[in-house]
Chain A
């Protein structure tokens, strides 16, 4: 009887753990700068960007380097995405057909950026055990999407540290249970008011020697940003 209570309590706790670790990244609003390194078997290149975000609904990304791409802006509003290309003075609305294409040549798709699903609300959670990653003792959690959830995965495995609830690793599986992507987060640092991993590696399973690394250089959380900041007009003005 005691055992049963303990088990059901832990199911509740796990949802709570996932929620806490999710909130760490999202905050209500944030601004910051980050770099993205695309690694391929024979080459790699790095793009630097600034970002503004409000909740999960709105975000704006401004490319600062390399020179050839400087000035490009990506805007996300709900599940729509625009791209401002200054060299041709064109505003390109990313059509649904291009959502699954690579974003700026990286291993992320456009869809990864706009995706609306929530790891808290759209999945059922199950504790599989405990494992150690990078000296952090972690909960290993299995996430199965709810039937109506807007999710492309069949299953997600997440590793969340017991201390600070840091999301340190995730594996994404397709509906046939085959591994598609692995995300590894490391380099835990204090950023503004909280401690978070600052380096994220995204490794596609089927492409040998390929990965994309994001490094968050500095991020301020809970900054005053309003919805109207994320407008098409502002895309052309932002620096």
Chain B
């Protein structure tokens, strides 16, 4: 066997140019598909990150009716025992209490719909890091009576620091809530959508404003990553009982999951086309190689080489070429994508605007998740093995006389 491998290795380097062309076609195939996958996966994980990190967290506990009817009337009393129970799971990093509502934000003659978030300032920023996103003024303090608002909202309402923001809404059990709040800080929120509508308020201030003392609409339960979430979610689902319910971000934002899945399906088609092109490229060179070496095979078989042995050697040659292509492709795409992941490509013009409208940062992001690489490696390897069948069949069907005559 070792002799076979040695022979195969020598054989492929007998015609360097032919081998290099084949290797190059595999190399570019791997590089392209890895690049494309990385870009796709990168944008998906960015989407997830925006949803998870800047808004919903990985999981949330609500009153069981809240998600169907997001009314403040479906809020629940803050319950330390519940929080402690959630925290008792080793995967759970932290639990964030929130009171969310909607209202009209107004200043002078200008009015706009806004999302009002009652938050505990120092805990909230652990997840969203909003304290670092303040562009002017300062972040909320404990017992703050003011608000921090999105930069887009501030611009729309013509509000500066320490101006008064009027909020009009319906509070707990339909009580009409109207109040004046000084703007203590302006934040540049990562999500352009929230940037245009967010009002952060200290939880206690928000509760008394909405007449919902000690009430919460959601408890954000945060874990390290998606895998930890899947494990914890199972446990929490069986543990959290009526009147509470626990939801993962995937359940809360099914449209994000669907968007990713449909986009991924589109990517699969693109990759399939790419692989077909690569496969025919390899197949073409292999066929050419067999045709070129027909006479050589004829001679070898005539002087006693077994056809079976010849087939094995040819198969190993194909594998070598495939492996060389895959390895060189990996060797180049890995560092390239690592660099790209650190430096996402900024988008400009209409595309950028469109992306901002959808709530995303206008950048092309790259993923360096391991599957980006091994998926390509495996697919190309499988292709090479399939193509490797051709030389086997071809060599077994050689007629020595015809081969020697070169017909």
Contacts and interface: CB of A to CB of B under 8 A. Distances in A.
B94 to A, nearest CB: 30
B73 A43 contact: yes
Contact of A45 (B170, B174, B180): B174
Contacts of A68: 175, 177, 211
Given A43-B73, A68-B211, A105 B178 contact: no
Interface in B78-132: 106
Q: Is the interface of A mostly helix, strand, loop or mixed?
A: loop
Given A88-B168, A105-B170, A72 B176 contact: yes
A42 B179 CA distance: 27
B176 A90 contact: no
A102 B170 CA distance: 11
B170 A88 contact: no
A116 interface: no
A42 B176 CA distance: 19
Contacts of A69: 175-176
Contact of A88 (B73, B173, B175, B180): B180
A162 interface: no
A104 interface: yes
Contacts of B173: 38, 40, 43, 45, 105
A89 to B, nearest CB: 8
Contacts of B73: 40, 42-43
A104 B178 CA distance: 13
Contacts of B178: 85, 87-88, 90
What's the interface size class on A, roughly?
Answer: 10 to 19
B166 A105 contact: no
Nearest to B167: A88
B257 to A, nearest CB: 32
Contacts, number: 42
B179 A87 contact: yes
Interface residues of B, number: 14
B179 A88 contact: yes
A66 interface: yes
A45 B106 CA distance: 28
A106 interface: yes
A68 B175 CA distance: 8
Contacts of B179: 87-88
Contacts of A88: 166, 168, 178-180
Contacts of B211: 68
Contacts of A87: 178-180
A90 B167 CA distance: 11
Contacts of B174: 38, 45, 102, 104-106
Interface in A21-54: 38, 40, 42-43, 45
A154 B173 CA distance: 32
A42, A45, A85, A88: which has the most chain B beta carbons within 10 Å? A88
Contact of B166 (A66, A90, A102): A90
Interface string B200-216: 00000000000100000
Contacts of A102: 174
Contacts of B180: 87-88
Nearest to B171: A68
B68 to A, nearest CB: 14
A40 B211 CA distance: 17
B251 to A, nearest CB: 24
A31 B174 CA distance: 26
Interface string A62-76: 000010110010000
Nearest to A42: B73
Contacts of B176: 69, 72, 85, 104-105
A172 B106 CA distance: 37
Contacts of A43: 73, 173
A87 B209 CA distance: 11
Contacts of A106: 174
A87 B179 CA distance: 6
A158 B401 CA distance: 109
Contacts of A66: 175
Contacts of A42: 73
Nearest to B175: A68
Interface in A54-110: 66, 68-69, 72, 85, 87-88, 90, 92, 102, 104-106
Given A68-B177, A88-B178, 13 more contacts: A38-B174, A42-B73, A43-B173, A45-B174, A68-B211, A69-B175, A72-B176, A85-B168, A85-B178, A104-B176, A105-B173, A105-B176, A106-B174
Interface of B: 73, 106, 166, 168, 170, 173-180, 211
7 cross-chain pairs, A with B, having the tightest CB-CB distances, nearest first: A105-B174, A88-B178, A85-B178, A88-B166, A45-B173, A87-B178, A43-B173
8 contacts: A38-B173, A38-B174, A45-B174, A68-B211, A85-B176, A88-B180, A105-B175, A106-B174
